[in-house]
């Protein structure tokens, strides 16, 4: 199944936007006008609104530092490459950080925090990043393709959470695939979760080295355990893996690994870890079935028992999320294609996340329903 929008009614609007401007990513007013002219869904149909309209953003990794909310998204741009199953149309070249004093308040869009031209080993496709803080240093973790076309994960540092960040000369040793998410446990130990199938190349890294001729999608074995994300402890300086990455098992309620053919539940990409009432919540995207799903466990290494969906499909091929606590409430950051109607040009959003008394997460519908009418924000 091609990585293209599952709701394509906005494509005409986006075409109008991109045809008319040299820098479509920076033309919010044009975007809004084009959507309205094309008869796109009204803004009131969406559960929440884009955090920024001046650029296109996706894959929001949110953190609360010094009382402020920082969001590290991908910076989507409109490139020439046609859409394909490998996500070749995600041609991002830099990162910009968002800052908010409060959720629902004004959003500050930072300048370029890191550009692919300033990363010696990277060639293209600066995909979903994450960030971490240790002491007075901020770490930006990012996947990018190296000169051989293999995804690796790099790290860059700054004394300012908004950047600019300075990249390490080499990717993290032993890193591969995409979508790093760095979680720091209560004892101060940090772990990186990562991986993604199809264009994320996890299936091309199963034998300890990148195989450029490996499968384009997954293992191709529907009745065998699905490819699983990876986790590795970080070294004290946060710049390297302290161990060989381990497989993160996602299991059903019988303790059996989810199977490759179980596309509604198996891992695709977009790892995130958070802790709630002492439990570890590993969440992820199911990719071609378009859900955000999660499992819970008792250790940062898992196994994680599948518990359900966090979010139903958004407008666009996929979403990618993060979950943080702020001001005594829990928040889901995610993305859709409200502004453009094009998979490659996304916009990040935030909405409140609710737990049931038994610790399960209430599934969110990204569109306004009768039940959520009048509650939509920010």
Residue 364 structure tokens = 């969110």
Count of residues near ligand FUB by CB under 6 A: 14
Residues within window 133-192 making contact with ligand FUB, judged by CB under 6 A:
178-179
329-336 and 190-194: which strand pairing?
unpaired
Q: At what angle do helices 28-37 and 11-20 cross, to 10 degrees?
A: 140
| Of 307 and 344, CB closest to ligand FUB | 344
State whether the Cα torsion 150-125-114-65 is positive or negative.
Answer: negative
Residue of 283, 301, 282 whose CA lies nearest to 243: 301
Quick check: is 358 catalytic? no
Residue number, 139 or 267, with CB nearest to ligand FUB: 267
CB of 174 to ligand FUB, least distance (A): 19
Stretch 18-57: interaction string toward ligand FUB, x if CB under 6 A = ----------------------------------------
Q: Which of 262, 269, 288, 315 is the catalytic position?
A: 269
Q: Which is nearer to ligand FUB, 179 or 262 (CB)?
A: 179
31 vs 178, which CB is nearer to ligand FUB?
Answer: 178
How do beta strands 68-76 and 94-100 pair?
antiparallel
What letter does residue 178 receive in the DSSP assignment? S
91 is catalytic: no
Give the C-alpha separation, 183 to 235, whole Å: 13
CB-based contacts of 122-126 (< 8 A; 24+ apart in sequence) = 122/146, 122/152, 122/154, 122/167, 122/171, 123/147, 123/149, 124/91, 124/93, 125/87, 125/90, 125/91, 125/92, 125/151, 126/74, 126/75, 126/92, 126/93, 126/94, 126/95
Q: Measured from the CB of residue 36, what is the shortest distance to ligand FUB in angstroms?
A: 27
Q: How far is the CB of 128 from ligand FUB (least distance, A)?
A: 4
d(CA 239, CA 233): 11
Q: Which is nearer to ligand FUB, 180 or 225 (CB)?
A: 180
Smallest gap from residue 71 Cβ to ligand FUB (A): 14
Applying the rule CB under 6 A, the residues between 245 and 274 that interact with ligand FUB are 269-270
The least distance separating ligand FUB from the CB of residue 334, rounded to whole angstroms, comes to 10
Q: How far apart are CA 276 and CA 268, in angstroms?
A: 23
Least separation, in Å, of the C-beta of 152 and ligand FUB?
A: 13
CB 140 within 8 A of CB 165: yes
Nearest alpha carbon to residue 320 among 121, 43, 90: 90
Nearer to ligand FUB, 127 or 139 (CB): 127
Q: Choose, by CB under 6 A, the member of 27, 190, 283, 318 that binds ligand FUB.
A: 318
Q: Residue from 63, 320, 321, 349 that binds ligand FUB (CB under 6 A)?
A: 320
Nearer to ligand FUB, 50 or 87 (CB): 87
Q: Does 63 bind ligand FUB (CB under 6 A)?
A: no
User: Binding to ligand FUB (CB under 6 A): which residues in 117-136?
Assistant: 127-128
| One residue of 27, 48, 57, 74 binding ligand FUB per CB under 6 A | 74
Task: State the Cα–Cα distance between residues 334 and 366, nearest whole angstrom.
Answer: 10
Q: Are 361 and 355 in contact (CB under 8 A)?
A: yes
Q: Is 58 in the site for ligand FUB (CB under 6 A)?
A: yes
Nearest approach, Cβ of 268 to ligand FUB (angstroms)?
Answer: 8
User: According to CB under 6 A, which one of 10, 24, 60, 87 is a site residue for ligand FUB?
Assistant: 87
Q: Which of 25, 48, 53, 59 binds ligand FUB (CB under 6 A)?
A: 59
The backbone region for 66, taken as left when phi is positive above 0, alpha when psi lies in -120 to 50, beta otherwise, is left
Tokens encoding 361: 């997460």
Q: Which residues are catalytic?
A: 59, 269
Residues that bind ligand FUB in the complex, under the rule CB under 6 A: 58-59, 74, 87, 90, 127-128, 178-179, 196, 269-270, 318, 320
């Amino acid at each position: 199944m091609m990585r293209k929008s599952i709701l394509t009614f906005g494509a005409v609007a986006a075409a109008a936007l991109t045809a008319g401007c040299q820098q479509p990513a920076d033309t919010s007013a044009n975007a809004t006008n084009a959507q309205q002219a094309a008869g796109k869904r009204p803004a009131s149909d969406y559960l929440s609104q884009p955090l920024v309209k001046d650029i296109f953003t996706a894959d929001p990794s949110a953190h609360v530092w010094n009382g402020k909310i920082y969001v590290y998204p991908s910076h989507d741009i409109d490139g020439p490459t046609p859409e394909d199953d490998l996500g070749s149309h995600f041609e991002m070249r830099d990162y910009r950080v968002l800052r908010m004093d409060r959720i629902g308040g004004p959003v500050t869009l930072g300048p370029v925090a890191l550009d692919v031209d300033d990363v010696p080993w990277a060639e293209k496709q600066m995909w979903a990043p994450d960030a971490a803080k240790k002491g007075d240093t901020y770490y930006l973790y990012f996947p990018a393709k190296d000169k051989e076309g293999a995804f690796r994960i790099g790290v860059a540092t700054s004394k300012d959470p908004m950047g600019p960040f300075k990249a390490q000369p080499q990717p993290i040793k032993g890193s591969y695939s995409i979508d790093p998410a760095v979680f720091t446990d209560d004892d101060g130990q940090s772990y990186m979760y990562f991986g993604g199938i199809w264009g994320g190349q996890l299936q091309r890294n199963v034998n300890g080295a990148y195989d450029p001729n490996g499968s384009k999608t997954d293992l191709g074995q529907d009745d065998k355990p699905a490819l699983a994300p990876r986790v590795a402890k970080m070294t004290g300086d946060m710049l390297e893996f302290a161990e060989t990455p381990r497989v993160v098992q996602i299991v059903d309620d019988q303790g059996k690994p989810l199977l490759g053919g179980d596309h509604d539940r198996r891992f695709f990409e977009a790892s995130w870890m958070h802790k709630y009432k002492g439990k570890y919540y590993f969440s992820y995207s199911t990719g071609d079935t378009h859900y955000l799903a999660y499992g819970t466990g008792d250790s940062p290494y898992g196994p994680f028992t599948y518990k359900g969906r966090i979010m139903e499909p958004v407008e666009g091929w996929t979403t990618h999320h993060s979950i943080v606590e702020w001001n005594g409430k829990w928040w889901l950051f995610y993305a859709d294609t409200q502004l453009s109607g094009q998979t490659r040009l996304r916009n990040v959003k935030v909405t409140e996340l609710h737990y049931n008394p038994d610790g399960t997460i209430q599934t969110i519908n990204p569109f306004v329903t009768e039940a959520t009418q009048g509650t939509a924000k920010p």
